[in-house]
Amino acid sequence: MTDNADKDYFPVMVQKYIEKPLLIHNRKFDIRQWFMIHQTENSLDVYIYDGCYLRFSGQHFSLFDFDDYIHLTNHSIQVNNLTRTSVAQKGAHEFIPSSCIWSKETFSTWLASENEARDLWNETVFPQMKSILKEVTSDSFEKEGTLRKNTFEFFGADFMIDEKLDVFLLEINKSPDPAANTRIQRNLFEGITSDTIKVNFRFFKKNQLLVIFSDLIAFSDSN
């Protein structure tokens, strides 16, 4: 960091490292959650897709080894990790495939199996993700002060969970790459694309309040 202090870079944000992340099969992971912001003349609506996926690192976690394959879960990083392998757990059907991707459903099942069958995804994890996105988007648009009438934009939020099941927002990506590298991602993107068109077409066609479609969860300033 100090070696780059005098270089002419654009502004950056420095985050504290999450030292005790929740691990699965001793692998670090993050959660990519897609959401859409829709603006009208008088309101801001945030739609969170009821589906996401986990991205795993390709190596066992360690605070004493700074290998990118241990700490970074991005596909662009892990695709070059020739040593990543599938990892199975004895007596369980959940495993980490070589693609390093899990569906929300697999993660939810794993959480329940590790916590006396409690539905911790819906009780704890997902509510925190929704709350964080609501706060971040509300604060952002309060500072901006204006709404762009009849516009929408898609975002990808990356979350991490610590060993206490506290959820942290890592970053939000504007217009994220929709590349589908696995069947799990392809299925998600097909549903997201379809529902996004439905939501926006309904609004522009009838010029009325947006409605909740099958796989979208909406909240607005009135909630």
How does pLDDT run across 125-140, given as a tens digit for each residue?
999 999 999 899 888 8
For the chain, residues with pLDDT lower than 70 are 1-10, 82-95, 144-147, 179, 202-223
DSSP at 164: T
Predicted confidence at residue 158, as pLDDT, reads 96
CB atoms within 10 A of CB 209: 12
Number of domains the chain is built from? 1
Predicted confidence at residue 205, as pLDDT, reads 57
Report the distance separating Cα 70 and Cα 204, nearest Å: 46
Helix (H, G, I), strand (E, B) or coil at 176: coil
Predicted confidence at residue 9, as pLDDT, reads 67
- Structural domain contains residue 147: yes
Predicted confidence at residue 209, as pLDDT, reads 42
- What is the domain range of residue 35? 18-220
Distance of CA 70 to CAs 57, 169, 197, Å? 5, 19, 38
Contact status, residue 129 vs residue 149, Cβ threshold 8 Å = no
CB atoms within 10 A of CB 110: 21
Q: In CATH, what number is assigned to the domain containing residue 52?
A: 3.30.470.20
- Structural domain contains residue 5: no
Predicted confidence at residue 23, as pLDDT, reads 96
What is the residue-wise DSSP string for 59-107? Answer: S---SS---HHHH---HHHHTT-TT---EE-TT-S-EE-TT-EEEHHHH
Predicted confidence at residue 68, as pLDDT, reads 84
The CA R_g of the chain, rounded to the nearest whole Å, is: 19
Q: Please list, in sequence order, all residues whose beta carbon lies within 8 angstroms of the beta carbon of residue 96, skipping any fewer than 6 positions away.
A: 24, 25, 27, 56, 86, 87, 102
For residue 164, which of 9, 21, 19, 24 has the smallest C-alpha distance? 21
Structure pTM?
Answer: 0.80
